[in-house]
């Protein structure tokens, strides 16, 4: 279901095969490690680890990720992209910047894990004064997906706000159950990469 507005992620902003391979190399060199047991946010143990914050804060890495996420988001017909702090925040900020350069109409926000104890005490941050997600088509984004728990936490909050959520975009799918968990609640998962692409070099 294509966005009715004109796509901005074309030409120099398109995520083509060369950019995909370049981003894969950046993630492999900066963010991927293997061989040591680590405990993931899901509670699972793994010998594969992705520290995506390093790539998300690398100038070239963040630009390429923004092109990938923006292109997929537009193809999903998104009006807004957003997700749970912290993983979604750098993605939302970099993609918002790239969307402005590309002339894309995409809008962005992020979801807090818990309400702030001061100020406006909002769970959803980035909306304009008086604006809501009611009836808006939202695509949820995250950096690495294992079981899908973090994305589902955000989706529950976003759906409660009245948004229509059918799609999730992740930079790396670890292929450990998230896709099935998403399908069970009516969601499609779009991954830029799968974990084994980095194991294979």
Average pLDDT value for residue range 53-79: 96
Which sign does the torsion angle of CA 54, 59, 65, 66 carry?
positive
Q: Provide the pLDDT confidence category of residue 200 given band limits of 50, 70 and 90.
A: low
User: Could you list the residue range(s) of the whole structural domain that residue 25 is in?
Assistant: 13-199
Q: pTM here?
A: 0.89
- Give residue 107's pLDDT: 95
- Give residue 114's pLDDT: 74
CA-wise closest residue to 122 among 167, 165, 164, 161: 161
Question: Is residue 4 situated within a structural domain?
Answer: no
Q: Check pLDDT > 90 for residue 47.
A: no
Question: Is residue 1 situated within a structural domain?
Answer: no
- Going by DSSP bridges, is the β-strand pair 188-194/80-84 parallel, antiparallel, or unpaired? unpaired
CATH code, 147 = 3.40.50.2020
Question: Is residue 8 situated within a structural domain?
Answer: no
- Give residue 121's pLDDT: 66
Q: Which residues contact 194 (CB under 8 A, 6 or more apart)?
A: 172, 173, 175
- Give residue 39's pLDDT: 61
Instruction: Look at the chain and report how many structural domains it folds into.
Output: 1
Reported as half-sphere exposure (CB side, CA atoms, 13 A), residue 156 has a value of 7
Tell me: the pLDDT tens digits for 94-152?
999 999 999 999 999 999 987 766 555 689 999 999 999 999 999 999 999 999 998 99
């Amino acid at each position: 279901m294509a966005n009715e507005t004109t796509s901005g992620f074309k030409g120099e902003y398109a995520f083509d095969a060369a950019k995909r391979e370049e981003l894969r190399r950046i993630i492999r060199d900066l963010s991927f490690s293997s061989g040591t047991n680590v405990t993931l946010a899901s509670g699972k143990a793994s010998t594969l680890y992705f520290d995506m914050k390093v790539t998300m804060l690398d100038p070239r890495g963040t630009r390429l990720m923004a092109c990938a996420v923006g292109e997929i988001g537009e193809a999903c017909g998104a009006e807004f992209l957003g997700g749970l702090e912290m993983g979604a925040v750098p993605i939302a900020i970099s993609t918002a910047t790239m969307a402005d350069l590309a002339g894309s109409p995409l809008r962005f926000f992020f979801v807090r894990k818990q309400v702030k104890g001061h100020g406006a005490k909002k769970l959803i941050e980035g909306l304009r004064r008086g604006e809501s997600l009611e009836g808006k088509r939202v695509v949820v984004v995250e950096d690495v997906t294992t079981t899908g728990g973090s994305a589902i936490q955000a989706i529950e909050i976003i759906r409660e706000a009245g948004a229509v959520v059918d799609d999730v975009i992740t930079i790396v799918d670890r292929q450990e159950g998230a896709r099935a968990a998403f399908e069970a609640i009516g969601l499609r998962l779009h991954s830029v990469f799968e974990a084994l692409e980095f194991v294979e070099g």
